[in-house]
Structure 1
Amino acid sequence: MTIDEIIGFVSALDGVHTLRPGPGDGSPEISWGDTFFYYSPDGVVPKATQPFATIVTKNYPGDEESRLDRPDAFRVNIAAGKEAFIRWTGHSPREPSADHDPSATDTVIAHPVYGSAGWLAVVNPAQRTDEPTRELLRTAYDLARSRYERRAAATRD
């Protein structure tokens, strides 16, 4: 999967707001070139809400183990929920596991920094992880949509 294929897939889901920071938009320079996906049917980045998935194209401070400084390397980060996390890693997000290489490509792993929050990650998804990445992105989207709808219902009550 390419970055553009992932962006096209996720952006086509109903109510997704895709944020692609770049020069001149007021975003921090470190975020330029990365992509953030929010469930936001009104097209506005929600306040106090994390994206349900991201694509990062470089190492962030404290997150160098994925070695995204390699040519053409990127990582898809997915908040697919506890059930998906356990299914893919074999353990709870709260139980750290060091049995994976964060720089391994085409492999679903616990996110090297946000795994304890239940995030999964795939560096350079390819043939082995194409469909699982799509499935996990759909799951993360469904969870984000459900959270949004619950919050909207709570504010109406």
Structure 2
Amino acid sequence: MGEEEIIALVAGLGSVRVDRASKDSGAPEVAWGDTFLTYEPGGRASGRGFQPFVTVVTKDYPGFDTVSDLDREGVFRVNVAVGGALFTEVVGHSPAEYAAAGVEVDFTESDRLLPHPVYAVQGWVSVLCPGPRTGERLRELVGAAWRRAAARHRARTTGQAPWER
């Protein structure tokens, strides 16, 4: 799966704002070329501080996020906010257990679902250059993250708890 295919998959779920960081977008230069996908009905910012539920990053962020070695030619990483339960299913440890255990992870390995190198404790997973081993599962995780983001959006905009419908 390429970057554009992933972005189209997420955007195709509906109510997704696609922000491509660039000079014109006003994003910091370090983020230029990266894509942030946020559940946002109407495609516009509501001013409520909603965060992306999927990101596609194409380079290292010096001094912050470098362990995936994204500066290699053709390498990108998809990050998905799946929450604690799915994180535990994918990684084999809860986010807190993962953080406490100091589990060794090769964050440069392609086509393998991994904890996010920085945001694992918040329930984010990632995959470098998704391919045959991870493509289908990544699609499932993106769908679950979209449903989770929709529920959180609904809760914050209507006061309705995510488990209420």
Q: Establish whether TM, by shorter chain, passes 0.5.
A: yes
Partner of residue 122 from structure 1, selected from 121, 127, 146: 127
Amino acid at match of 2:25: D
Q: Cα distance, 1:90 vs. partner?
A: 0.7
Amino acid at match of 1:126: G
The two structures have a TM-score, normalised by structure 1, of: 0.94
Tell me which residue corresponds to 1:22: 22
Tell me which residue corresponds to 2:89: 87
Q: Which runs of 5+ in 1 are unaligned?
A: none
Identity of aligned residues (%): 42
Alignment map for 1:66-145 (pairs within 5 Å):
66-95=68-97, 96=99, 97-145=102-150
Runs of 4 or more, structure 1, over 3 Å off, are: none
Alignment map for 1:30-49 (pairs within 5 Å):
30-46=30-46, 47-49=48-50
Q: Cα distance, 1:100 vs. partner?
A: 1.9
- Give the whole-Å Cα distance in 2 for the aligned partners of 1:25 and 1:151: 26
Q: Which runs of 5+ in 2 are unaligned?
A: 161-165
Query: Would you say how many aligned residue pairs link Structure 1 and Structure 2?
Result: 155
Residues 104-147 of structure 1: CA deviation (Å, up to 9, x unaligned):
11000100110011100001101100001111111110000001
The two structures have a TM-score, normalised by structure 2, of: 0.89
- Give the whole-Å Cα distance in 1 for the aligned partners of 2:60 and 2:92: 26
What is the RMSD computed on CA atoms of the aligned residues? 1.3
